[in-house]
Amino acid sequence: MSRIGKKPIVLPKGVEVSIAKNNLVTVKGPKGTLTQHVDADLILSIEDGVLNVERPTEQKRHKAMHGLYRSLIANAVTGVSEGYKSDLELVGVGFKAAVNGKILDLALGYSHTIVMVMPDEVKASALTEKGKNPIVTLESIDKQLLGQVTAKIRSLRKVEPYKGKGVRFVGEVVRRKAGKTSAK
């Protein structure tokens, strides 16, 4: 049996889960509402503030779906109750970040600035302190969307291994390579 799939999802206070006829799970909490479509074969049950996901057979397809949908529902429950946060650090000379409403403006060493429009579900903020690298903080209730936006920002300037310049997570360790050595 799937180790992840058989774990029950404990619903925190203030979080309500409703299951529609077509296995559309709606999760409402203090931070917002998320919906997740679940495979029609899986059996969902709510008892005493605990949500269980069960599979009907031991088919390979059912086994694959079991843990996946349990994780997706658990991520939605965590998102509407606590939310998700991602911090990105811009490492490089002249790298800057500014946020105007839903627009993120990045200067990443190119001849032009990069302007990104943030989705409505993602809240961005930029912090620039003198002598430190700028930090972009992204917050959302949707873990998948937050990861997608974070990956897109990171792909704008990947971290290079020689000087360590680029967009990285705060606290991320970059393996550095030795440069050329001069032969004398």
Q: pLDDT tens digits for 112-144?
A: 999 999 999 999 999 999 999 999 999 999 999
* Second CATH level (architecture) for the domain 9-81: Alpha-Beta Complex (3.90)
Q: Tell me yes or no: is domain 84-169 CATH 3.90.930.12.
A: yes
Residue written as tokens 């490492």?
91
> Mean pLDDT in the chain?
92
Q: Where are the domains of the chain?
A: 9-81, 84-169
d(CA 72, CA 59): 20
**How confident is the model over 60-83, as a mean pLDDT?**
93
Q: Is the pLDDT of residue 1 over 70?
A: no
Quote the pLDDT of residue 22.
Answer: 85
Reference 142, options 15, 27, 6; nearest CA is: 27
Write down the pTM of the prediction: 0.88
Q: pLDDT tens digits for 10-51?
A: 999 999 999 988 889 999 999 999 999 999 889 999 998 899
Q: Residue 4 in contact with residue 65, Cβ under 8 Å?
A: no
The band of 147, judged by pLDDT with boundaries at 50, 70 and 90, is very high
Q: Is the pLDDT of residue 146 over 70?
A: yes
What's the chain's Rg over C-alpha atoms? 21
